[in-house]
Amino acid sequence: MPAKKIIILTDSSAHIPVDLQTELFIEVIPLWLIWDGKSMQDGIDIQPDAFYQRLKGSKTLPTSSQPSIQEFKNIFQKLGEKAETIIAVLVSSKISGTIANARTASAELPELDIKIIDTLTCAMGLGLIVTESARAAADGKSVDEVISLAGQMMQSVYTLFVVDTLDYLFKGGRISGGKHLLGSALNIKPILHFNDGQIKPLTQARSKKKALAQLLNIVEERLGGNHMLEAVVMDVDAGTEAGQLADIGHVALPHQPQP
């Protein structure tokens, strides 16, 4: 069987649905989750539903870790047998060591043509860049064209989210005890976004309902009258609210199918 021209590799933080991974021939390397001394591969040893259920009753917080250099070397060598070029489209280097390990592994395999893209985002912000890169590769685009497309998308993909509780930001050291106490007492809901590869505060509201409404207003403002090509509603154990937000957004925000 002749080698596939381009294979797209990403990491599990992209959270791309399995059926879409299969459809677009996207390869995924799992990140690691360390919890109470036990290491688990994201999406293999533990699934999101089980993670959130355990988190609710846990007295300890898990930590995450990037795939090792050897793990990257293993998957690069495996994919190198099937592809002329591997394009690794990965989570932001400013929140994970994944990019660093991928680059080190690539440097140790000079016989393989490996391109690494630091998307400076995560979750389905990353996922959108990955899926469009995979579609371009499947359509026969060149390596340079796929990389150029990924770069263009990095400039036009925005990730916004509302935090329902400040508890985990406080426990993870992201905010001070004073902010946690004040925010909880006032029912403040921060609206966060990815900016320059990091999670940063954008604004805040005094209730969940107001925060979600404000989030949609921010989206509309950023569109500036342009049509949205694609939107993804992500949730953290909040499927009902995510569905409601998707319904509201479908009505409130302009959308035009592209040819």
Q: What pLDDT is attached to residue 25?
A: 95
Cβ neighbors of 146 (< 8 A, separation 6 or more) are 6, 8, 87, 133, 136, 137
Per-residue pLDDT band at 137 (split at 50, 70, 90): very high
Contact indicator for 137, 146 with CB cutoff of 8 Å? yes
Helix axes 208-223, 239-252, angle to 10 degrees: 40
Contact indicator for 119, 150 with CB cutoff of 8 Å? yes
Strand partners, 204: 190
How does the average pLDDT of the chain come out, rounded?
85
Q: What pLDDT is attached to residue 234?
A: 81
Q: What is the pLDDT of residues 140-197, one digit of tens each?
A: 999 999 999 999 999 989 999 887 766 666 555 544 444 434 444 456 788 888 889 9
Q: How far apart are CA 166 and CA 71, in angstroms?
A: 35
Task: Enter the tokens of residue 170.
Answer: 């406080």
Q: What is the pLDDT of residues 196-243, one digit of tens each?
A: 998 888 888 888 888 888 988 898 888 888 777 788 888 777 777 777
Q: How far apart are CA 13 and CA 234, in angstroms?
A: 12
Q: Among 5-9, 28-32, 144-148, 154-158, where is mean pLDDT lowest?
A: 154-158
What pTM, to 2 d.p., does this model score? 0.86
